[in-house]
Amino acid sequence: MSVAVFGGGAFGTALAIAIGQTRPVTLWARDTTHLTKHRESARLPGMALPDGVTVTPDLEAATGMDTLLFAMPMQVLSGFSDQIEAPLTGKALVACCKGIDLKSLTGPAAILAQHWPEATPAILTGPSFAADIARGLPTALTLACEEEALGKAVQAQLSTPTLRLYRSTDVVGAELGGALKNVIAIACGACIGAGLGDSARAALMTRGFAEMTRLAAALGARPETLAGLSGLGDLTLTCTSDLSRNFRYGLALGKGQAFDTGVTVEGAATARAVTRIAQERGLTLPVCAAVAKLTTAETTVAEAMEALLSRPLKEE
């Protein structure tokens, strides 16, 4: 089975580097100038592409592979999929995005299924930073695919000596874990940025995890999926590390500082999407709602924390 990765950003390149250590892989990027000339990504300086990686801007050639990994921002996935004209019958389509599409209010696997109902969608997600994967540091991820046999095949194909994939059939749960943890990470970053302390961060992580599980169950996911790598594992990493873009964004909000507009912060759009879903389903998700208002400047960190702390006392 041949492999192609779509997306020449940090995460897509890191996956290509890891997979390319053990098997040939095609890396598609819109602009391949830097990748071709220097054999490394500008987003991952000093991390060379192995000989097994072929870089191409040719969309048709890349879609000819058997397993296609879509490593791009969530809000870009649908528009990018529109550009692919070839039928993808029988191929494994693996979304490597973390978020909820603002237009359809669905996750990445659903976007792929809508575009190619004849193919099998899956999602690769979990606690990981691109630089760690590219350096060959031990990383464990969740590969969720409803078709167990195909999931096993892709698991074996993409796993490497340092990139360990655990398999699941709960695609919705894996999607939501990866999406929602970014929202909670923004809240935790704002908490630390505002000087509210680690105890407050721990409370936000815990109550945020309860919201993640509540929404996932309402959308048909298995609660135990959220306790795994794609949920609790990713939440822990993203809420506690300065390497997380979502945490750094929240940190800037908490400090009242500007944030680099060129950096993709998936949790900001996801928070708004989650708030709409919660309203439609009559769910109460106060942390997610607070983050949605923070990202649109409808409230301040101080006001958001006051609102959360003044909620009626309840049983855990």
Q: Which pLDDT does position 255 carry in this prediction? A: 96
Chain segment 213-228, per-residue pLDDT in tens:
999 999 999 999 999 9
Q: What is the dihedral of CA 154, 15, 113, 281, to 10 degrees?
A: 110
Map residue 117 onto helix, strand or coil: coil
| Contact of 219 with 176, CB cutoff 8 Å | yes
Within the chain, residue ranges assigned H as helices are 10-20, 33-38, 59-62, 74-82, 108-115, 130-135, 148-158, 171-193, 198-218, 223-226, 234-240, 245-255, 266-281, 286-295, 301-309
Question: Quick one: what percent of the chain has pLDDT higher than 90?
Answer: 91
Q: Which pLDDT does position 145 carry in this prediction? A: 98
Sign, CA torsion 37/39/40/45: negative
Query: In the predicted model, what is the mean pLDDT of residues 294-303?
Result: 94
Give kind and range of the element (H or E) at residue 5.
Answer: strand 3-6
Q: Which residues are catalytic?
A: 181
Report the range of poorest mean pLDDT among 136-150, 239-253, 266-280, 295-309: 295-309
Confidence of residue 316 (pLDDT cuts 50, 70, 90): confident
Q: Which pLDDT does position 12 carry in this prediction? A: 97
Strand 139-145 vs strand 163-168: parallel, antiparallel, or unpaired?
parallel
Give kind and range of the element (H or E) at residue 122.
Answer: strand 120-125
Chain segment 235-275, per-residue pLDDT in tens:
999 999 999 999 999 999 999 999 988 889 999 999 999 99
| Domain ranges across the chain | 3-169, 172-309
Please list, in sequence order, all residues whose beta carbon lies within 8 angstroms of the beta carbon of residue 248, skipping any fewer than 6 positions away.
189, 242, 259, 263
Q: Which CATH number fits domain 3-169: 3.40.50.10320, 3.30.70.260, 3.40.50.720, 1.10.3720.10?
A: 3.40.50.720
Chain segment 94-126, per-residue pLDDT in tens:
999 999 999 999 999 999 999 999 888 999 999
Superfamily of chain region 172-309: N-(1-d-carboxylethyl)-l-norvaline Dehydrogenase; domain 2 (1.10.1040.10)
pTM: 0.96
> Tokens 């708030």 — which residue?
275
Q: Which pLDDT does position 178 carry in this prediction? A: 97
Query: Any bridge partners for residue 55, and if so which?
Result: 27
Question: Quick one: what percent of the chain has pLDDT higher than 70?
Answer: 100
Q: Which pLDDT does position 25 carry in this prediction? A: 98
